[in-house]
Structure 1
Amino acid sequence: MHPAASFRHDDRALLEALVAEVGFGMVFLTTPDGPRVAHVPLLSTGDGAIQFHLSRGNALTRWLDGAQALAVVNGPDAYVSPVWYEDQGQVPTWNYVAVEMEGRVRRMSEEGLHGLLETVSARHEARVNPSAPWTMDKVPPASMARLMGGIVGFELEVEVWRSTFKLSQNKSAEDRARVAAGLVDSGAPALAELMRTLVP
């Protein structure tokens, strides 16, 4: 993570909310085959763990159970132009939000995996199709059994949370306001909103 302490955020509720809002991330592990990463939907359990599933054929699947792994969720990010500063004799940078979660991974039971899939689909269906959400019971049982046989569920018990909320904290309030306005104009309103709400 970024070494500057001013960019860190220790509010666990905020970090959990970011994981829940984004809902997708990366899981990293050094395996006997070399370093590997999986891109996966992530579910925060709300009590310090995150759950995810992988294809049985994924390069990480056979190595994860019992391993110490790293999961990363990226929030909004955007290029910051020096033209937005009062003094333009500076260099461009990038503002971004990211959370790293490190911990031991365990394989989930089939019942736990089924519950994970139901929860993830229900959460996202409520966003995209609230009036008539898709549910798992629409899949014929034989098809569901075959599909579930092709995936494995995992839970990472988070031991260490690390975050970077790089939101121009090292700039003046006036420059931050100009950067936020520039981000809105350039199509990054979510990052601008975080700058306005999280930086005093």
Structure 2
Amino acid sequence: MSPPTDPRVRRTRAVVLETVLDLLAERGVAGTTVEAVAERSGVAKTTIYRHWDGQAALVLDAFAGVRRPPEDPDTGTLRGDLTALATGLAGAVSAGPAAGLWFALVDAAERDPRLGALHHREAELRHAVILRVVERGVGRGELPDGTDPAEVLDLLAGPIFYRRAATGATVDRRYAERLVDRVLRAYRT
């Protein structure tokens, strides 16, 4: 959809999408209904329905506005690359507008095929970067031949999501560095 040219429409859309992000972070997808968005934003439901065909479309549009695909770092070492990616992931699930969205999207993906497809696409984009980094590390001899890049991804990302989702603990650069060192040490033994 191309952006609206009328400044009032742009402002209204921005208010609605900001409200959707706030509600997603607070209540998850189930609590981010068109009615809740209308009530909180002050934008009439009819106006919302003029631009989006329902809750899933609102969530998809809001998520598209804040997602930032990870950059492919090339620091020259596997440790440096993985630390950059782990730190970026930790930041994405801990702070900023997308932090609450990750967990809301994972939850909603189980129930809504459109949100499930979005979650799958997002995961593939993010995973592709880490898989390339690991493959580069294997190519440089920093990991043994035959290392499964998907397994390294699981060992790196899993603890970050668990620590944030299950315990609410901070995931900072020091934690990311220790995690990367443990993963790399496991492959060197």
TM-score bracket, normalised by the shorter chain, equals under 0.3
Task: Specify which structure has the higher proportion of strand.
Answer: 1
Ranked by relative contact order (alpha carbons within 8 Å, sequence separation 6 or more), the top structure is: 1
Task: Specify which structure has the higher proportion of helix.
Answer: 2
If the length of structure 1 is used for normalisation, what is the TM-score? 0.22
If the length of structure 2 is used for normalisation, what is the TM-score? 0.23
